[in-house]
Amino acid sequence: MTYTTNSVDSLKGPKPAESLAQERASAAFDPRLMNVFLEGLVAKSEQVLDLFQQMERDVVLQPTFQEYDETKPDARARVAARINRMARYAELEDYHHFMRRLNIVTAFDPSLGVRISVNLGLFLRCIKGNGSAAQFNFWNDKRQNGLIKQMYGCFGMTELGHGSNVAGVETTATFDLETDEFVINTPHIGATKWWIGGAAHSATHCVVYARLIVKGKDYGVKTFVVPLRDTNHELNPGVSIGDIGAKMGRDGIDNGWIQFSKVRIPRFFMLQKWCKVSKEGEVTLPPLEQISYISLLHGRVFMAIDSYRIIARFITVALRYAVARRQFKPSIKRPNEENVESQLINYPLHQRRLLPYLALAYLMAVGSNRLEIEHDTLLDDMDDALDKNDKEAINKCLVQTKSVFNDSGSLKSSCTWLAADCLHEARQACGGHGYSGYAGFGKIISDWSVQMTWEGDNNVLAMSCGRTLIKNVEDVLIKNKKVVGTMAFLNVGAQALGETALLTSAEDAANPEKVLTALEVLIIRISSYCLDLLKQNGGDWDAISYQRVLLSKLRTHQYMLETFLVDFKKADASLKPFLTNIVKLYILHSILEAFSSEFIGYGVINGPLKKAITNELIPDYCAKVRSQVITYTDAFQMPDRIINSALGNYDGNVYENFFNVVKQQNPPQKELKAPYNDALQAMLKRQSLEERDRFEKNEEARSILSK
Amino acid sequence: MTYTTNSVDSLKGPKPAESLAQERASAAFDPRLMNVFLEGLVAKSEQVLDLFQQMERDVVLQPTFQEYDETKPDARARVAARINRMARYAELEDYHHFMRRLNIVTAFDPSLGVRISVNLGLFLRCIKGNGSAAQFNFWNDKRQNGLIKQMYGCFGMTELGHGSNVAGVETTATFDLETDEFVINTPHIGATKWWIGGAAHSATHCVVYARLIVKGKDYGVKTFVVPLRDTNHELNPGVSIGDIGAKMGRDGIDNGWIQFSKVRIPRFFMLQKWCKVSKEGEVTLPPLEQISYISLLHGRVFMAIDSYRIIARFITVALRYAVARRQFKPSIKRPNEENVESQLINYPLHQRRLLPYLALAYLMAVGSNRLEIEHDTLLDDMDDALDKNDKEAINKCLVQTKSVFNDSGSLKSSCTWLAADCLHEARQACGGHGYSGYAGFGKIISDWSVQMTWEGDNNVLAMSCGRTLIKNVEDVLIKNKKVVGTMAFLNVGAQALGETALLTSAEDAANPEKVLTALEVLIIRISSYCLDLLKQNGGDWDAISYQRVLLSKLRTHQYMLETFLVDFKKADASLKPFLTNIVKLYILHSILEAFSSEFIGYGVINGPLKKAITNELIPDYCAKVRSQVITYTDAFQMPDRIINSALGNYDGNVYENFFNVVKQQNPPQKELKAPYNDALQAMLKRQSLEERDRFEKNEEARSILSK
Interior/surface letters A299-337, b for 16+ CB within 10 angstroms, e for the rest: bbbbbbbbbbbbbbbbbbbbbbbbbbbbbbbbbeeeeee
Which residues of chain B lie closer than 8 angstroms to A464, CB-CB?
A: none
Which residues of chain B lie closer than 8 angstroms to A542, CB-CB?
A: 330-332, 347-349
Distance between CA atoms of B186 and B161, rounded to whole angstroms? 12
Contact criterion met (CB < 8 Å) for A87 and B683: yes
When pLDDT is cut at 50, 70 and 90, the band that residue A337 belongs to is low
**Catalytic residue (choose from B455, B562, B593, B598):** B455
Residue in A150, A435, A539 closest to B248 by CB: A435
For A428, which residue in chain B has the nearest alpha carbon?
A: B453
3-state secondary structure of A156: strand
Kindly give the pairing relationship between strand A181-185 and strand A172-176.
antiparallel
The better pLDDT of the pair A402, A427 is held by A427
From the list B97, B143, B114, the residue with the least C-alpha distance to B450 is B114
3-state secondary structure of B610: helix
Mean pLDDT over residues A475-501, rounded? 93
3-state secondary structure of B89: helix
Q: Which residues of A are part of the catalytic machinery?
A: 455
In terms of DSSP H, where are the helices of B454-511? 458-477, 506-509
Contact criterion met (CB < 8 Å) for B668 and A332: no
When pLDDT is cut at 50, 70 and 90, the band that residue A64 belongs to is very high
From the list A464, A466, A528, the residue with the least C-alpha distance to A496 is A528
- Contacts across the A-B interface (CB distance below 8 Å): 429
pLDDT of the residue at B648: 97
Interior/surface letters A249-271, b for 16+ CB within 10 angstroms, e for the rest: bbbbbbbbbbbbeebebebbbbb
Instruction: Kindly state the helix (H) or strand (E) to which residue A238 belongs, with its residue range.
Output: none
Q: Across the strands, what pairs with A229?
A: A235
Q: Let me know: does B276 contact B175? Beta carbons within 8 Å.
A: no
Which residues of chain B lie closer than 8 angstroms to A533, CB-CB?
A: 615
Supply φ then ψ for residue B528, to 5 degrees. Answer: -65, -40
Q: Let me know: does B413 contact B459? Beta carbons within 8 Å.
A: yes
What residue type is assigned to position A519 of the chain?
A: L
Distance between CA atoms of B645 and B643, rounded to whole angstroms? 6
In this predicted structure, the answer to whether residue A338 has a pLDDT above a threshold of 70 is: no
Kindly give the pairing relationship between strand B153-156 and strand B239-243.
unpaired
Residue in B77, B608, B686 closest to A149 by CB: B686
Contact criterion met (CB < 8 Å) for A434 and B453: yes
pLDDT of the residue at B337: 60
pLDDT of the residue at A335: 67
Cα separation values, A544 from A202, A552, B401, Å = 43, 13, 49
Distance between CA atoms of A342 and B585, rounded to whole angstroms? 43
Give the tens place of pLDDT for each residue, A310-333.
Answer: 999 999 999 999 999 999 988 887
When pLDDT is cut at 50, 70 and 90, the band that residue B338 belongs to is low
B455 has catalytic annotation: yes
Residue B197 counted as an annotated binding residue: yes
Distance between CA atoms of B59 and B78, rounded to whole angstroms? 12
Instruction: Kindly state the helix (H) or strand (E) to which residue B381 belongs, with its residue range.
Output: helix B348-387
Interior/surface letters A386-415, b for 16+ CB within 10 angstroms, e for the rest: eeeeeeebbeebbebbebbbbbbbbbbbbb
3-state secondary structure of A292: helix
Contact criterion met (CB < 8 Å) for A332 and B597: no
Chain-centroid distance, C-alpha A254: 19
Which residues of chain B lie closer than 8 angstroms to A116, CB-CB?
A: none
Contact criterion met (CB < 8 Å) for A538 and B332: yes
Q: Which of B248, B263, B545, B548 to mutate to test the interface with A (most CBs of A within 10 A)?
A: B248
Distance between CA atoms of A321 and A303, rounded to whole angstroms? 27
**Secondary structure letter of residue B161 according to DSSP:** S
CA angle centred on B640, ends B639 and B646, rounded to 5°: 160
Least-confidence region, from A147-156, A249-258, A324-333: A324-333
Residue in A543, A675, A681 closest to B73 by CB: A675
Supply φ then ψ for residue B679, to 5 degrees. Answer: -65, -45
Q: Let me know: does B222 contact B292? Beta carbons within 8 Å.
A: yes
Residue A158 counted as an annotated binding residue: yes
Which residues of chain B lie closer than 8 angstroms to A535, CB-CB?
A: none
Mean pLDDT over residues A243-270, rounded? 98
Contact criterion met (CB < 8 Å) for B152 and A601: no
Q: Let me know: does B186 contact B261? Beta carbons within 8 Å.
A: yes
Give the tens place of pLDDT for each residue, A507-535.
Answer: 999 999 999 999 999 999 999 999 999 99
Q: Let me know: does A158 contact A193? Beta carbons within 8 Å.
A: yes
Distance between CA atoms of B317 and B657, rounded to whole angstroms? 13
Distance between CA atoms of B324 and B77, rounded to whole angstroms? 36
Q: Let me know: does B613 contact B588? Beta carbons within 8 Å.
A: yes
The string of DSSP codes covering A470-506 is HHHHHHHHTS-PPP-GGGGGGGGGGGG-SS--S--SH
In this predicted structure, the answer to whether residue B292 has a pLDDT above a threshold of 70 is: no
Distance between CA atoms of B533 and B525, rounded to whole angstroms? 12
C-beta pairs of B86-92 under 8 Å, 24+ apart in sequence: B86/B61, B86/B112, B86/B116, B86/B148, B87/A683, B87/A686, B87/B147, B87/B148, B87/B149, B90/B120, B90/B146, B90/B147, B90/B148, B91/A689, B91/B147
From the list B367, B369, B470, B467, the residue with the least C-alpha distance to B415 is B367
3-state secondary structure of A463: helix
Hey, CA dihedral for A37, A38, A41, A43, is it positive or negative?
negative
Supply φ then ψ for residue B395, to 5 degrees. Answer: -60, -40
Contact criterion met (CB < 8 Å) for A7 and B689: no
Least-confidence region, from A31-35, A287-291, B100-104: A287-291
Give the tens place of pLDDT for each residue, B410-451.
Answer: 999 999 999 999 999 999 999 999 999 999 999 999 999 999
Cα separation values, A111 from A76, A83, A102, A125, A249, Å = 9, 10, 11, 19, 9
Cα separation values, B342 from B326, B346, B356, Å = 5, 7, 21
Cα atoms found within 13 Å of the Cα of residue B5, Cβ hemisphere only: 9
pLDDT of the residue at B417: 98
A509: left (phi over 0), alpha (psi -120 to 50) or beta: alpha
Mean pLDDT over residues A657-673, rounded? 95
CB-count burial class (<10 Å; 0-12, 13-18, 19+) for A16? buried
Cα separation values, A239 from A228, A235, A260, A263, B1, Å = 6, 6, 5, 7, 21
Average pLDDT, chain A: 95
In this predicted structure, the answer to whether residue B335 has a pLDDT above a threshold of 90 is: no
Distance between CA atoms of A160 and A172, rounded to whole angstroms? 15
Q: How far does B85 lie from chain A, in Å, by closest CA? A: 9
Residues constituting chain A:
707
What residue type is assigned to position B641 of the chain?
A: R
What residue type is assigned to position A36 of the chain?
A: V
Give the tens place of pLDDT for each residue, A418-473.
Answer: 999 999 999 999 999 999 999 999 999 999 999 999 999 999 999 999 999 999 99
Distance between CA atoms of B665 and B644, rounded to whole angstroms? 14
pLDDT of the residue at A63: 97
Q: How far does A653 lie from chain B, in Å, by closest CA? A: 11
Q: Across the strands, what pairs with A185?
A: A172
3-state secondary structure of B241: strand
Give the tens place of pLDDT for each residue, A75-99.
Answer: 999 999 999 999 999 999 999 999 9
pLDDT of the residue at B296: 83
Q: Let me know: does B631 contact B360? Beta carbons within 8 Å.
A: no
A220: left (phi over 0), alpha (psi -120 to 50) or beta: left
Count, in order, helices (H) and strands (E) of chain A.
Answer: 26, 13
In terms of DSSP H, where are the helices of A484-605? 506-509, 512-536, 545-570, 576-586, 596-601
CA angle centred on B191, ends B188 and B195, rounded to 5°: 135
